[in-house]
Amino acid sequence: MIDAILQNRKLQFVVLLIVFTLLCVIITPSDTNIFWRLPPLIKGLPLAINDSVEYLMSDWFPIDIYDPEIDDYEQKPLLSQITRSLSSVILFLINLIRELLLGGVKTIVTFTGWDWASENTWARWPALPWTVVASGAVILGYALKGLRLAILAGLAFVYIAVFGQWEPSMETLSFVLIAAPVSVFLGLVLGVWAYKSRVVEMVLNPILNVAQTMPHFSYLVPVTVFFGIGDHAGAIATVIFATPPMVRLTLLGLKKVSAEVIEAGMMNGCTERQLLYRVQIPSARRDMLIGVNQVIMQCLAMTVIASFIGAKGLGHNLLLALNQLRIGQALELGICIVLIAVVLDRMSLAWANKQTDYFADLSFVARHKFSLLFLAVFMAGTILAYVGTFLIKEGPNYLYLIPHNKGITTEQFWQAGVDWVWETFFYVLKGFNEWLIKGVLLPIKNAYLGMPIVATFILTMGIAYILGGVRSSLIVGALLLFIALTEWWDRALITAYLMTVGVVVSTVFGVIAGTLCAQNNLATRFMLTVCDTLQTFPSFIYLIPVIMLFGITDTSVLFAVIVYATIPATRYTIEGLRSVPAQLHEAGSMSGVSWLQRWLTIELPLSLPHMMLGINQTVVFALFMVIIAAMIGTDDLGQLILKSLSDRHGVGNGLTLGLCVAFIGLAVDQVIRTWADERKRLLGID
Amino acid sequence: MPSEVVISETDQPVVQCDSVYKIFGDNAIRMLQSANGVVDSKSFHEAGCIVGVNNASFEVNTGELLIIMGLSGSGKSTLLRCISRLTEATAGKIFIEGEDILSMSSKQLIELRRNKMGMVFQSFALLPDKTVLENIAFPLQIKGTGTQESIKRAKDMVDLVGLDGRENYFPRQLSGGQQQRVGIARSLAVEPDIWFLDEPFSALDPLIRKEMQDEFLRLQSVLSKTILFVTHDFDEALRLADRIAIMKDGVIEQLDTPANIVLHPATDYVDKFTKEVPRERILRVESIMDPVDPAEDVSDLRISKDAIIGTVAEAVFSAGKPVTVVDKNQTVVGALHASKVVSVLFGSRAEH
């Protein structure tokens, strides 16, 4: 009997379920029963984190700093000095770019001081006329890639200007133009370091794991404590979030460079430095470019979240619009973010793929044609803007800058649309909403909350053991134990419930959509492009349409989660199915399988490991969305993280809560990844 | 330069290996020391060590083409990598033009590789992000040659390997044969004295392989490099080599000219390779001719002693009489009897 159970996975699952159900029935809810809930033994952790952060920032390692105001040395803690200088450097850089685009006085102030600047009112940096910036983008697009990119860049910038979002867009752009290069650089350095040193790789790996599964929100409070509030803090939070994928992909790319290519470099007499810079890094470029792409996406996704800690720009406005339920405006802002993302992405890609022409023997004019063209455009734009001051007597000078919200807007149209939907479908939507919440969601939620802690552990660790062995089981147990010992186990269960429902529905949708699209080349390409585009959207954008339809309810949260998390499920399903070798299809056809048989017996088993990795992604996406949806109003971990944002001592809470969310993600990741790797090895793929 | 020095340089072997060992494993050096030079790959394997190269000693002379032949796992590529010091030999000495390469500092090694060595790889090992021209110019740029000059030189190399018109292609846009032409051009860009080729044509289709071998012979007739060429293809070895070293389990089983290997295989293992070889396509007249017998009535037909037997067989038969064999200077060096040709063409293995 025991032998049979040990041999058969299905039997193991059955036994596990029986044990789980029995435990659920036997154990009675009671605050003192440790089988029901564990005592919050690490309740003090957030406070401890707060205290140590406080100590680090205000007492640790004092150094003498010269203070010109009192003409004497003063004792100041080292760390706060470091973070302060770092902040001012980043702030200076962001302002520099921002004022190049929009004009201003802060850069001048940095060098002269406020007193001087307020006395000399002429000393203002003028903004570039929007026509010049937009034409500059067109020229850059043409120089990098050609006509198509030029048109794309031109349309994007004109849209931004015409819809009156020029100022916030340029603010966002200046923010991204600093955060993205810093993240790419940091990612490169860390990735190369990890490649060179096994120890560094081993240390970095778990840190990256946690960093990539921690919800964005939980970084914010620590960042404000160390760096204050403002654009620089937003940029730093963004860098923290955007660097891990770059590190990962750099390392992956370097590892994939074939041994022979490295040998070829060595045989050509490369020094170690030359080997790295001229052979290994260039050869790993493909993966690194994906990294750059991800960095840009993360940066734009963070613009909204960074606005919580004072970053200006589109994100800030989007947040305001969402709070005021101005759907139309939120939509227009969202499109601006997406446009910037797409243009930056294409441009960085084109820049990296640019070729040198060695045979061209060009004149000075030909070599510098784009710079000269830009100069001409600059002059023309400036003159045009100057002429504009005479032509347009009333209102703002549209040839210079289109002020915020003074452009065309389609807000009324969208608002009318929302109103129409509400009026027409009010009862249908309301009915559906109520049915979903009362009939489906609440029972599931109660079931989750009604699980005794022992049963939860047995179930999760049991699944991990069956699928991944003892090691997996112990890791999952340890991760969950951390959550169980905080005082937020019930909140975590709610997060888990929203995530599970989201993941299950997304997976069903994703697998169906993916399977249908994978049947046809055209559909496959179309769907992958759609997935690519949808992934460019910052996660907040997904809240816009669901709020439009369902208002502020749990249903909205769930729909946002489902829409967002279906993307990876679909993508990985298509990739998995398409990677099944053609020979197997032919072998199947020759054995006379039907369409369904082929899917069930050939395609599904072979692509399942890859699809499971997609579900892994789905889990991470769903978790992020659940947390972000705290904005709409939930009662899970995300809500607490959101609260910790406005708490002066929120660091400990924010970080611990973030870890809880990360650990849920990592526990799932552990099980799925171990299983998928094992399965891939068995099937001999990858 | 005094002429004696020149002579002594040409006398010196370009590559010289003295009991080179390469053993993979954690305690390789200790195992090797206790083995006292007699390495048994089986007992080493049990101890967790893998024997790559086992006591290899040989010399390669200026302008010579030595082929290292063996099946996969025989240690042929490892031996090549020991000589180019891509892998560190566990024991033994390796001299390149008289200099001990194993005791070189990394700086000296880099200098040596930049100026004297070129290498071609099995899977081409081109830099994926660089164009044909940039790939070929790469070793020059690494050396510090200016862009103008290195591109000009690379252009010459493109012409040499017949890829003109494809300078700005990326490796992925080329066929296998074309990619390997780029690999060859790159390895020759710095005009190396020693040319390493690691299974350069193994990844190519048979027809392309033949074409590339012809191309290789053409290049070698122009360039006359000292060459170490690794292959698993015995026919390729016979076709190209001045001398062949046949390896098995890290040991060089036999090192000799193609003709001697075919005629006198040293071990059973070598014999297995030579069994199926059409000897008339390998052997030259020289190896089956008889000494000149003044009393003999010979035909007017004169053939070169370096001619492949298969190419002259028909002429020898139709002559009806023994044929005169001459060397390069048209001096008579022997006579060839049709009966010898017959035994090469149809004779059984036992005769040799």
The ranges assigned to domains in chain B are 3-116+192-277, 280-351
The structure tokens listed for A304 are 């909204």
Q: What is the average pLDDT across B226-253?
A: 92
Tell me how far apart the alpha carbons of residues A560 and A566 are, in angstroms, rounded to a whole number. Answer: 10
User: What pLDDT score was predicted for residue B350?
Assistant: 44
Count other C-beta atoms under 10 Å from residue A457's C-beta.
19
Tell me how far apart the alpha carbons of residues A172 and A306 are, in angstroms, rounded to a whole number. Answer: 11
The structure tokens listed for B19 are 């009991």
Cα–Cα distances in angstroms (integers) from residue A467 to residues A9, A55, B125, B352, in the given order: 8, 44, 40, 65
Least Cα distance to A289 among A253, A235, A258, A339 occurs for A253
Tell me how far apart the alpha carbons of residues A77 and A65 are, in angstroms, rounded to a whole number. Answer: 9
B150-185: b or e for each residue (b if 16 or more CB lie within 10 Å)? bbebbbebbebbebeebbebbbeebebbbbbbbbbb
Residues in CB range of B318: below 8 A, 6 or more apart: none
Distance from CA of A165 to the nearest CA of B (A): 39
pLDDT tens, residue by residue, A193-241: 999 999 999 999 999 988 888 888 887 888 888 888 888 899 999 999 8
Distance from CA of B170 to the nearest CA of A (A): 11
Residue A325 Ramachandran class (φ > 0 left, ψ -120 to 50 alpha, else beta) = left
Chain position carrying tokens 């860009």? B189
> Considering Cα of A565, then A570, then A573, then A579, what sign does the dihedral take?
negative
| Residue A270's pLDDT band (cuts 50, 70, 90) | very high
List residues of B whose CB lies inside 8 A of any A CB. 81, 84, 86, 110-115, 117-119, 121-131, 133-134, 138-139, 141-143, 147, 151, 168, 186-187, 190, 196
* A175 neighbors A102 (Cβ within 8 angstroms): no
Q: What is the average pLDDT across A64-81?
A: 77
Is residue A1 predicted with pLDDT exceeding 70?
no
In chain B, the percentage of residues whose pLDDT exceeds 90 is 40
Helix, strand, or coil here: B84? coil
List residues of A whose CB lies inside 8 A of any B CB. 258, 260-261, 263-264, 266-271, 274, 278-279, 282-283, 285-286, 355-358
Count other C-beta atoms under 10 Å from residue A224's C-beta.
23
Q: Which fold has domain B3-116+192-277?
A: Rossmann fold (3.40.50)
User: What pLDDT score was predicted for residue B1?
Assistant: 36
Q: What is the DSSP string of A653-668?
A: HHHHHHHHHHHHHHHH
Tell me how far apart the alpha carbons of residues B163 and A56 are, in angstroms, rounded to a whole number. Answer: 64
**Which stretches within chain B are classed as H helix?**
3-11, 28-35, 41-46, 76-83, 106-115, 132-143, 147-160, 176-188, 206-223, 234-240, 258-263, 268-275, 309-319, 338-346
Is residue B292 predicted with pLDDT exceeding 70?
yes
pLDDT, mean over chain A: 85
Is B114 within 8 Å of A268 when comparing Cβ atoms? yes
Residues in CB range of A360: below 8 A, 6 or more apart: A366
> For B102, which DSSP code?
G
Tell me how far apart the alpha carbons of residues B207 and B234 are, in angstroms, rounded to a whole number. Answer: 16
Distance from CA of A361 to the nearest CA of B (A): 11
User: What pLDDT score was predicted for residue A508?
Assistant: 94
| Residue A637's pLDDT band (cuts 50, 70, 90) | confident
Q: What is the average pLDDT across B5-21?
A: 73
Is residue B228 predicted with pLDDT exceeding 90?
yes
A-to-B residue pairs, Cβ atoms closer than 8 angstroms = 72
Is A264 within 8 Å of B168 when comparing Cβ atoms? no
This model of the complex carries an ipTM of 0.83
Question: Which of A263, A279, A286 is the closest to B121 by Cβ?
Answer: A263
Is A283 within 8 Å of B128 when comparing Cβ atoms? yes
Residue B308 class from Cβ within 10 Å (0-12 exposed, 13-18 middle, 19+ buried)? middle
φ and ψ of B173, to 5 deg: -90, 0
CA B279 to chain centre: 20
- Domains of chain A (ranges; CATH) run 28-37+413-683 (1.10.3720.10), 61-119 (no CATH), 131-162+374-409 (no CATH), 164-354 (1.10.3720.10)
Of A53-67, A263-277, A571-585, B171-185, the least confident = A53-67
* A263 neighbors B121 (Cβ within 8 angstroms): yes
pLDDT tens, residue by residue, B58-83: 999 998 999 999 998 899 999 999 99
The residue in chain B having the minimum alpha-carbon distance to the alpha carbon of residue A281 is B129
Architecture label for domain B280-351:
Roll (3.10)
The structure tokens listed for B92 are 């033994």
User: What pLDDT score was predicted for residue B59?
Assistant: 93
Question: Which of A258, A267, A355 is the closest to B123 by Cβ?
Answer: A258
In chain B, the percentage of residues whose pLDDT exceeds 70 is 95
pLDDT tens, residue by residue, A172-200: 998 889 999 999 999 999 999 999 999 99
What residues of chain B lie within 8 A of the CB of A270, using their CB? 110, 142
